[in-house]
Amino acid sequence: MGKVKVKKSDVWIDMTPMSDVMTLLLTFFMLTSTFVKNEPVKVNTPGSVSEIKVPENGVLTILVSPEKDKAGKPTGEGQVFMSIDNTDQLGATLDDMAGRFGISLNGNQIKTFRLESTFGIPMKELPGYLSMSSQNRSKVLPTKGIPLDSIDGGMSEFQQWVDAARTANEEIKIALKADAATPYKTVKKVMNELQDMDESHYYMITNLKTSEDE
């Protein structure tokens, strides 16, 4: 009886085409996508049919979110945060603001500020906040916000920030990103403050409406 010869079939699969495809996909993703910004509050923007895109750079984004109490019910007030996409301009803005409020920050604090994507801390608490550990910072930030009340009848802290950003970049574009559920009162306040400082042209960030409602 002859031995049945078990053929040792070669199970080697050539992975080269697979790797080619993967590299292509990876390149595609790297080139077309932008990184998700880490925002302290979750904002669901309302849908619209407008198809204008956000300008590429030099954008000051104002984040407006409805403030919620501990039970999760909106209090009717809102929080305001800001972000500037250019770190150099962000640094210049911070320098300007620190000068205006007479606050001195050390190198580490400035570095932390520049690394953070979104800011929204009252100026008085800023040095203390920037010295915290990053874990504490992400806990504290969502409870704060830039104050909208005018200081001694003058410009509010919010307006000072916008003004400082405008000084750092004269052609800065303002984009308003507000949650769909924000009461108009809050948005009106922000719009009014912008109007007061003659900043009347801005963008409102929305989602593309996918299906026709109703």
Partner 1 sequence: MAKKESKQKKINVRVDFTPMVDMLMLLITFFMLCTTLSKPQTMELTMPSNDKNTQEEQKNEAKASETVTLYVAANNKLYYGEGIPEYNNPAWLKETTWGEKGIRTVLREHATENGTKPVKRIELAVKALNQKKAKQPLLYPDSVYQKELIKIKGGELEDGKIPTLTIVIKATDNASYKNLVDALDEMQILSIGTYVIDKINDDDMKLLTSRNVAI
Take residue 203 and report the two structure tokens written for it: 């963008």
The interface region with partner 1, picked from 15-23, 90-98, 120-128, 146-154 by CB under 8 A, is 15-23
Residue 61 CB, nearest approach to partner 1 (Å): 10
- Binders of partner 1 in range 170-199 (CB under 8 A): 175, 177-185, 187-188, 191-192, 194-196, 198
> H-helix or E-strand containing 94?
helix 87-101
CA–CA distance from 143 to each of 140, 162, 174 (Å)?
Answer: 6, 21, 24
Q: Which of 11, 30, 42, 152 binds partner 1 (CB under 8 A)?
A: 30
Interface characters, 32-61, with partner 1 (x: CB under 8 A): xxxxx--------xxxxxxxxxx-------
Please say which residue, 64 or 162, places its beta carbon nearer to partner 1: 64
> H-helix or E-strand containing 187?
helix 184-196
Size of the site for partner 1 (CB under 8 A): 60
Q: Which of 57, 75, 76, 167 binds partner 1 (CB under 8 A)?
A: 76
Residue 130 CB, nearest approach to partner 1 (Å): 25
Residue 185 CB, nearest approach to partner 1 (Å): 4
Please say which residue, 23 or 87, places its beta carbon nearer to partner 1: 23
Please say which residue, 65 or 89, places its beta carbon nearer to partner 1: 65
Q: Is 134 in the site for partner 1 (CB under 8 A)?
A: no
Smallest Cα–Cα separation from 59: which of 40, 35, 82, 80?
Answer: 82
Phi-psi region of 36 (alpha: psi -120 to 50; beta: other; left: phi over 0): beta
Let me know: does 168 contact 89? Beta carbons within 8 Å.
Answer: yes
Distance in angstroms between the alpha carbons of the first and the last residue of the chain: 80
Let me know: does 63 contact 85? Beta carbons within 8 Å.
Answer: no
Residue 113 CB, nearest approach to partner 1 (Å): 23
Please say which residue, 142 or 183, places its beta carbon nearer to partner 1: 183
**Count of Cβ atoms closer than 10 Å to residue 189 Cβ:** 18
* Bridge-based pairing state of the strands 59-68 and 173-178: parallel
Q: Is 127 in the site for partner 1 (CB under 8 A)?
A: no
Please say which residue, 50 or 136, places its beta carbon nearer to partner 1: 50
Crossing angle (nearest 10°) for helices 87-101 and 107-115: 130
Q: Is 212 in the site for partner 1 (CB under 8 A)?
A: yes
